[in-house]
Amino acid sequence: MIHEFDIIASLQQIWLVFRDIFYTSAGWNLSSIYLLGFLLLLGIMTVIMTASGASKAFGNWAIEKVKTRRGAQLVPAFLGVLIFIDDYFNSLAVGQVSRPLTDRYKISRVKLAYFIDSTSAPVTVLTPISSWGSIYNRNVRLYFRSDRNNCLSAIRSFRQNDTVEYVCICGIIISVFSCIV
């Protein structure tokens, strides 16, 4: 464990790591601060959505509109593609909204988790307008400041996300054709 269960030393170590993430010798790391603020706002939005009953209302609306088991499987798959702001927010929001619908059609929680997981992070990674977009933006800026060859190799490496695309496509295909029982 951290520092042999010494709480004070552990808290000091955690503070040092936290500080190093947000403040370096060059000054404040604004991209990390903005990303933390963005994620905090998403967490607040999730709590508000749940507390206000919006998740339950959408779930009830979906129960009225969706009439088949296949449709109940498609809802989390397509919501996962539509809510691409952040992978954690996607998982929380789609899970909250889809759970009543999938429970009604006796779709297992494992299957629901698969649909959510196969669309949350992969779609977010592929979308430049997401929390991952800020990381890509920062990396591209760093590569542009350095050697031109490094920049081209970085841009080519972003294209290596084929695996992520295949995970998304497989999740949607499985939800459409009900390949997993």
Give the containing element (helix H, strand E) for 163: helix 162-177
Q: What is the pLDDT of residues 101-117, one digit of tens each?
A: 999 999 999 999 999 98
Burial of 40: CB neighbours in 10 Å, binned 0-12, 13-18, 19+: exposed
Q: What phi and psi values does residue 15 have, to the nearest 5 degrees? A: -65, -40
Give the containing element (helix H, strand E) for 24: strand 23-24
> For residue 82, what pLDDT band results from cuts at 50, 70 and 90?
confident
Name the residue type at position 18.
F
> For residue 75, what pLDDT band results from cuts at 50, 70 and 90?
very high
pTM here? 0.67
b/e 83-92 (16+ beta carbons within 10 angstroms → b): bbbbbbbbbb
Which of 102, 105, 96 lies closest to 58, judged by CA?
A: 96
**Greater pLDDT, 50 or 154:** 50
Q: Does 181 score more than 60 pLDDT?
A: no
Q: Does 159 score more than 60 pLDDT?
A: no
Q: What phi and psi values does residue 53 have, to the nearest 5 degrees? A: 90, 10
